[in-house]
Each structure stands twice: as structure tokens, then as C-alpha cells.
Amino acid sequence: MEVLYFSGSGNSRCMAEFAAQALDVQAKAMEVWPKSTGILFLISLFGRGSGSKEANARVRTGVPVVLFGPVWGGLLIAPLRGVLSLCRKRRAPVVLVLSCGSPDEKRYSKWGYQKVLDAAQKEAGDWLLWATAVPVSLGLDPMPEEKELMHYRLEEKGLTEAQKHRIMECLERLGQIKNAAAGEP
């Protein structure tokens, strides 16, 4: 099992480290090129992927990958697209967990995560076992103002129980799929 993440401001890293701890593995950051958010955003806008040496080394045939990263501008960002495409090429099952500012109720809006999940499905095909999003506001009561959500830092605030639960659901699915493949009940 490999846990890979790309994280601009630390939220996806926080989620990946929680998952890695539960799986008893190390989460690996992807150092992507170009580093600039603006250029990465442009590449993402054109529907292109970007590579990283960590993904190149760790995505291997038959080894499940749990991939974490943010939603930017309602897009499947280039570093995530790059890994999903590699998983398809190398026949590695993958689970995607997005970190995002907009809440579940806005998943179908312009900046919502639903079309990112759909784009991920297209990119990885049947190799995408499961994909979900974890809004930074999930489980918060009261809900912060919308403008605060874009600057919310999980590393300062910690994951809520609802966020942990959503991440664990993904890991459980991965376990069920692995057991089914191995013929276990």
C-alpha cells in the first residue's frame, strides 16, 4: 500500500498522515514540477497531468495507492491527474481523497468537488476503486463563514471526527476490495 499526497497548504498532508498512521505506512509527499501554484493551475486548466519522481518510483503494478490532494478552481489538478494516469498505465488500483474548501452541500456548484471526482474516474478508469472528498468544514458546528473556509488549516485545527470517519471509510473499502481479491470473506 502506498500513501501519496500533494499539498499546497498542508490540509491534504494532514489527511494523508492520518491515513498512513492507520495503515501503518509512511505518507510520501510528491515534489512536483513546476512548483508555482499559478503554473500548475494553468496546466490543470488545460487538462494535463504533471509528474513527480515519488509517484514514478511508488506506483507499481498491483500495489494499491491512496492518493490525497486539494481541489483548485473546481479542477482535477495536474499532480493528481498525473498519478491517476500512471495508475491506469501501470495497473495499480487507486483510491482518491480530495481536500476542499466548499462543503458537501455545494458539491455540484462551479467550485464544488463533484466534477473533480468525475474527471478522476475518467482519468483512472476502472483502476479508481473509490473517490471521495473531505471538505475542511465537515463536522464543524457552527459552520465558519465561506471566506474563512478557503484559509482553513487542518494542521492548526486538527481533523474532526467526521473527517476522520470519511477517510477511514475509504481505507475500509480498500481493505474489503483487497480481501475480495484474495478470496477472503
Distance of closest approach, residue 52 Cβ to ligand FMN, in angstroms: 15
Helices 78-90 & 114-124, crossing angle to 10 degrees?
30
CB of 51 closer than 8 Å to CB of 87: no
**Alpha helix ranges (H) inside the chain:** 11-23, 37-45, 53-58, 78-90, 114-124, 146-149, 154-157, 161-182
Is 74 near ligand FMN (CB under 6 A)?
Answer: yes
Distance of closest approach, residue 29 Cβ to ligand FMN, in angstroms: 10
In this chain, which stretch among 24-32, 44-52, 67-75, 82-90 interacts with ligand FMN, using CB under 6 A?
67-75
Question: Which is it for the CA torsion 105, 159, 172, 88, positive or negative?
Answer: positive
Distance of closest approach, residue 62 Cβ to ligand FMN, in angstroms: 28
| Position among 2, 3, 4, 12 found at the interface with ligand FMN (CB under 6 A) | 12
| Position among 100, 117, 138, 174 found at the interface with ligand FMN (CB under 6 A) | 100
CB of 13 closer than 8 Å to CB of 157: no
28, burial (CB in 10 Å: exposed 0-12, middle 13-18, buried 19+): middle
Smallest CA-to-CA distance from 162 within 104, 77, 90, 82 is with: 104
| Position among 52, 99, 137, 163 found at the interface with ligand FMN (CB under 6 A) | 99
Distance separating alpha carbons of residues 17 and 23, to the nearest angstrom: 10
| Position among 2, 3, 4, 11 found at the interface with ligand FMN (CB under 6 A) | 11
Distance separating alpha carbons of residues 180 and 131, to the nearest angstrom: 19
Is 79 near ligand FMN (CB under 6 A)?
Answer: no
Please say which residue, 8 or 175, places its beta carbon nearer to ligand FMN. Answer: 8
| Position among 50, 58, 72, 87 found at the interface with ligand FMN (CB under 6 A) | 72
Is 111 near ligand FMN (CB under 6 A)?
Answer: yes
By CB under 6 A, name the binding residues for ligand FMN: 7-12, 37, 70-74, 99-102, 111, 113, 136, 150
